[in-house]
């Protein structure tokens, strides 16, 4: 991922340095806000490849800092920075961590997911600001295990999660959160413990959090992977995105697990619901991110469900 990002930056720099940029090629036409053609086109005059990129999600690697151990952040768009990511991602932080994102508006910022709790200092350092909300996608320890420590370090932090998972997170109920199953399966080490986070509050479906500057997050209830699972839909003036937790990944993949609260009918309904959202970028809880045309990932999952099947699971 990082290699691809830096390659793209080098190409962009070269294009920008050239007078007129891609001026030898006829500009790709866009219909309104949507930029429909996204694939490379062969430049007729010079035979070079012309890349068209939408103005929404902007890749900027200048915030990548690998000079500090564990201290890497990847700015994904104007508003979204990846501040933690574990072994099922980009190895920016503790291996147990999910992707944790910082989302900035003009007035405030929030974190989406907290990681497993062993990278809290790294997350705070990478954030470079004090978020006032932590939005949990669900209670599994790789996403919510760091909530208690973050709340300790940020006294004003509001921690929100889907109502069905609130008690488990508040009490550190390892059976409710399936930490016991994960430990038995070797996913979590024997000495791992989920720290209770009594400060957690329920977030209702449709709740909006205005970060300023036209940047708004909206909670979308998406049970199925786990009870209380919630995605967060991001609106900005330039693009829309979805923080999808463990509900859906690139390629329309999902995460089905033999856990007490993993429920197929609810999962299928959630996937169908998500596909109706207007989305340019997809920021899931693990694996790849998608910076353009992300609706295709949601449509792939929906289409599989419509055939009476469940999409391929990453777990
Ligand atoms: Zn999960």
Identify the bridge partners of residue 162 per DSSP, sorted by sequence position: 203
- If you ran DSSP here, which 8-state letter would residue 57 be given? S
Ligand 1 center to 225 CA (angstroms) = 7
Report CA(259)–ligand 1 centroid distance (Å). 10
**Ligand 1 geometric centre to CA of 220 (Å):** 16
Ligand 1 center to residue 141 CA distance, Å?
8
Number of domains comprising the chain: 1
Q: What is the pLDDT of residue 315?
A: 87
The Å distance, Cα 206 to ligand 1 centre, comes to: 21
Ligand 1 centre from 255 Cα, in Å? Answer: 7
Residue 231 has pLDDT above 90, yes or no: yes
Residue 84 lies in a domain: yes
| Mean pLDDT of the 67-96 span | 88
Label residue 34 by pLDDT band (50, 70, 90).
very low
pTM of the model: 0.80
Tell me, yes or no, whether 102 lies in a domain. yes
Q: Is residue 60 part of a domain?
A: no
Alpha-carbon distances of 194 from 40, 88, 148, 151, 225, rounded to whole Å: 47, 20, 9, 14, 19
Q: What does the alpha-carbon distance between residue 164 and residue 168 come to, in Å, rounded to a whole number?
A: 8
Q: Is 11 a member of any domain? A: no
CA of 210 to the centre of ligand 1 (A): 26
Distance 306 CA to ligand 1 centre (A): 24
The CATH number covering residue 133 comes to: 3.60.15.10
pLDDT tens digits, one per residue of 248-301 = 999 999 999 999 999 999 999 999 999 999 999 999 999 999 999 999 999 999
Retrieve residue 145's tokens.
Answer: 């295990």
Q: Helix (H, G, I), strand (E, B), or coil: what is residue 209? A: strand
Distance from the CA of 246 to the center of ligand 1, in angstroms?
Answer: 5
pLDDT at 59 over 90: no
Task: Tell me whether residue 65 is in a domain.
Answer: no
pLDDT at 67: 53
**pLDDT > 70? residue 22:** no
* Domain residue limits at 216: 74-306
Q: Is residue 188 part of a domain?
A: yes
Q: Is residue 274 part of a domain?
A: yes
pLDDT over 60 at 304, yes or no: yes
Does some domain include residue 31? no
Query: How large a percentage of the chain has pLDDT more than 70?
Result: 77
């Amino acid at each position: 991922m990082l290699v691809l990002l830096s390659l793209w930056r080098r190409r962009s720099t070269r294009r920008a340095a050239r007078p007129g940029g891609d001026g030898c090629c006829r500009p790709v036409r866009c219909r309104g806000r949507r930029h429909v053609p996204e694939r490379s086109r062969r430049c007729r005059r010079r035979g070079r490849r012309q890349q068209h990129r939408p103005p929404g999600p902007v890749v900027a690697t200048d915030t990548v800092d690998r000079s500090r151990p564990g201290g890497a952040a990847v700015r994904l768009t104007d508003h979204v920075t990846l501040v933690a990511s574990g072994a099922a991602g980009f190895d920016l932080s503790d291996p147990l961590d999910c992707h944790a994102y910082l989302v900035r508006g003009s007035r405030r910022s929030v974190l989406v997911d907290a990681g497993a709790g062993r990278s809290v200092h790294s997350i705070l350092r990478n954030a470079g600001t004090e978020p006032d909300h932590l939005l949990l996608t669900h209670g599994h320890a790789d996403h919510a295990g760091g909530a208690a420590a973050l709340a300790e370090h940020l006294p004003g932090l509001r921690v929100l999660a889907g109502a069905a998972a609130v008690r488990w997170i508040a009490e550190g109920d390892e059976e409710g959160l399936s930490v016991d199953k994960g430990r038995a399966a070797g996913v979590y080490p024997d000495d791992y413990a989920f720290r209770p986070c009594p400060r957690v509050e329920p977030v209702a479906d449709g709740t909006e959090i205005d970060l300023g500057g036209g940047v708004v997050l909206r909670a979308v209830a998406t049970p199925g992977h786990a009870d209380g699972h919630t995605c967060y839909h991001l609106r900005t003036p330039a693009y829309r995105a979805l923080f999808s937790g463990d509900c859906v990944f690139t390629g329309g993949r999902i995460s089905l697990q033999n856990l007490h609260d993993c429920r197929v009918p609810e999962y299928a309904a959630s996937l169908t619901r998500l596909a109706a959202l207007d989305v340019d970028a997809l920021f899931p809880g693990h694996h790849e991110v998608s910076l353009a045309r992300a609706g295709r990932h949601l449509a792939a999952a929906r289409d599989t469900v419509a055939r009476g099947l469940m999409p391929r699971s990453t777990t």
